[in-house]
Structure 1
Amino acid sequence: MNEIINKKVEFRDLGKMDYQEAWDFQESIFAEIVSKKIKNRNLTLDLQEKTENYVFFVEHPHVYTLGKSGKEENLLLDEQGLQNHEARYYKINRGGDITYHGPGQLVGYPILDLDNFFTDIHKYLRFLEEAIIRTLLDYQIESGRIEGLTGVWIDHIEQKNPRKICAMGVKSSRWVTMHGFAFNINTDLNFFNHIIPCGIDDKAVTSLSKELEREINLNEVKEKVKNHLVDLFEMELVN
């Protein structure tokens, strides 16, 4: 583990950004941090540089993404169908199956060097989920996890009508993370009708606005999620 610990994290709101552009942006920062870690291994402690940490918030235009373990048949649209819905489709290098990103959805991309926090990818995923669970509790909505499934779910205990409100999918190399979570806030849920979300065909998808039956202030949600991430990971905010 790095002996130089840096818990400072820069949160940056990228606004609305094309998926490919955001992916390329993530990849470049991810590569820089991994490269610095490799370089540090050959340096004495006094010459090593601290590795940076970031959390990016973004909204994407309509897009479907398929993770490494996903099946293409879980996308129910052909090329023409994608064009008709003004949606794009990418196969990507995160874990998980297929999911949808679009306007009104809060997508979070933490690029963290877990050597600065803890080297446990399962704990990392649980902390991302917990930040969303705590945010939902701020809106008086009970949510949680369902064993064997990723993400955050409403009606996760009795499971009479379990519905996913936040999807997760991450990549990690040398304990540096990328990709992250997709939290449905004011999302048009009709776009989920064109996929089998995360390969699960017997459970529904929901959004914060659907559960509360009103439009939600996205910036307000971003602030809540940020604060919970800071508390859980014991981050130091970079202004």
Structure 2
Amino acid sequence: MNTITVYRLGRVEYEDGLELMRLFGEARRQGLSSDVLLLLEHPPVLTLGRGAKRENITASDERLAQEGVEIFETNRGGDVTYHGPGQIVGYPLFLLPESRRDVRRYVRDVERSVMQTLSEWGITAGPIPKWPGVWIGEEGDPDARKIAAIGVHISRWFTSHGFALNVNTRMEHFRLIVPCGIREAGVTSMQRERSQAIPVADVEESLARSFCTVFDSERAQPAPLMRTVSIAVVRGHGPEARVLLVRRRPERGGFWQVLTGRVEDAESPAQAAARELEEETGLRMPVEDLAYRHAFAVGQTLPPVLAEEHGFAAHVPPDAQVRLGPEHDAFEWVDVPTALERLPFRGLKETVRRAVAKRSA
């Protein structure tokens, strides 16, 4: 019997989600991975499918910046879609067997998996043939409203992208766009339909069961995620704020970063962050939790090795003296724009943004 490994990843930066799809796709094609279902949450982002019309983004660039919403072009089908907190994004990364190599059947099966989950919360939903997605209401119904967007990509019968189910989603953000280019109907969420917040973890479990049932597969448990920390060291505040960047030795990549490290057994993330700070800079001081956790793939290993990283800040006095540890060969104090330009990964940039914002608050 086929198996589906289900990963429940929490927050994933959108760029990191694209990389996860690419790496799992390579691993699946090479026979190094089973089919995979990624269940995750993205920060606020607008994604443009291959058929997207730019005019379906109704908000100005200034408004998007104020709301912290970014724009990405993708290779999936469909028009413009919103992703954000409170929404479960599902990426079924399947190599379809010969018996299931039918694009319409695959889309119907994704829809059916989502509909089965909704039925567990007493929400009756279905397709509307002329529009993609999962809907409440019938075609022609003036109150028809979409509860899940569907946008897939299939290449050599490997599937990517997938669906976005509105659970406790911030519905105001849908006013920034014409969702999927459909002006004649609205959008909704499970929370709105049930008039109460819905436990996201329970919905994820239901989705995992539904996909395994619909796709005639057994569920496989993934290996535990590596636990890591990132620490943005900041001195000063406002326009005078400076961020400590350290350069990894050439054999370790040679790029600039903030401090990072693994959480050891029996350590809390805060303990790991304080330890890494002292080991890599010689500084001994409290660290501040930034309430930022995200998952990503570590390096280019196949199948991917996944980590969950917990962000921290350390605010140091102007005369703080840095003594580099063995993993780095140089350090610089740089302004915030320079730090954001040099850092190679979206999660490290977000750690810096949050650390500087907390310092300025």
Fold in common (TM above 0.5) = yes
Q: CA deviation at 1:52?
A: 2.2
Alignment partner of 2:17 out of 22, 32, 38: 22
User: What secondary structure, in the 3-state scheme, does the structure 2 residue paired with 1:84 have?
Assistant: helix
Q: CA deviation at 1:118?
A: 1.3
Structure 2 residue 188 is matched with structure 1 residue 193: no
Identity of aligned residues (%): 34
Structure 2 residue 79 is matched with structure 1 residue 94: no
The whole-number CA distance in structure 1 between the counterparts of 2:142 and 2:175 is 20
Letter of the aligned partner of 1:14 in structure 2? L
Aligned to 1:82: 64
> Within 5 A, what are the aligned runs for 1:202-217?
202-217=184-199
Letter of the aligned partner of 2:85 in structure 1? P
Aligned to 2:326: none
Runs of 4+ in 1 over 2 A off after TM superposition: 31-34, 49-52
Q: CA deviation at 1:32?
A: 3.4
Structure 2 residue 108 is matched with structure 1 residue 126: yes
Structure 2 residue 11 is matched with structure 1 residue 11: no
Are the counterparts in 2 of residues 94 and 169 from structure 1 also a CA contact under 8 Å?
yes
> Within 5 A, what are the aligned runs for 1:52-201?
52-115=34-97, 118-156=100-138, 159-201=141-183
Are the counterparts in 2 of residues 117 and 233 from structure 1 also a CA contact under 8 Å?
no
> How much is the aligned-residue C-alpha RMSD, in angstroms?
1.5
User: What secondary structure, in the 3-state scheme, does the structure 2 residue paired with 1:150 have?
Assistant: strand
The whole-number CA distance in structure 1 between the counterparts of 2:25 and 2:153 is 10
The whole-number CA distance in structure 2 between the counterparts of 1:212 and 1:116 is 40
Larger deviation: 229-238 or 117-126?
117-126
The whole-number CA distance in structure 2 between the counterparts of 1:147 and 1:118 is 21
Are the counterparts in 1 of residues 76 and 152 from structure 2 also a CA contact under 8 Å?
yes
Are the counterparts in 1 of residues 24 and 33 from structure 2 also a CA contact under 8 Å?
no
Q: CA deviation at 1:116?
A: 6.8
Q: CA deviation at 1:78?
A: 2.9
Are the counterparts in 1 of residues 27 and 33 from structure 2 also a CA contact under 8 Å?
no
Larger deviation: 72-81 or 145-154?
72-81
Cα deviation, 1:71-93, whole Å, max 9, x if unaligned, reads 11111123222111101100111
Q: Which has the higher contact order (CA 8 A, sep 6+)?
A: 1
Q: CA deviation at 1:158?
A: 6.4
* TM-score, normalization by structure 1: 0.88
The structure whose residues are more often strand, as a share, is 2
Alignment partner of 1:31 out of 26, 29, 32: 26
Q: CA deviation at 1:117?
A: 5.9
Letter of the aligned partner of 1:18 in structure 2? E
Structure 2 unmatched runs, 5+: 222-361
Residue 62 to residue 117, structure 1, CA distance change in 2 (3 Å): farther
The whole-number CA distance in structure 2 between the counterparts of 1:192 and 1:182 is 13
* TM-score, normalization by structure 2: 0.59
The whole-number CA distance in structure 2 between the counterparts of 1:182 and 1:156 is 20
Letter of the aligned partner of 2:194 in structure 1? L
Q: CA deviation at 1:110?
A: 0.5
Corresponding pairs, count: 221
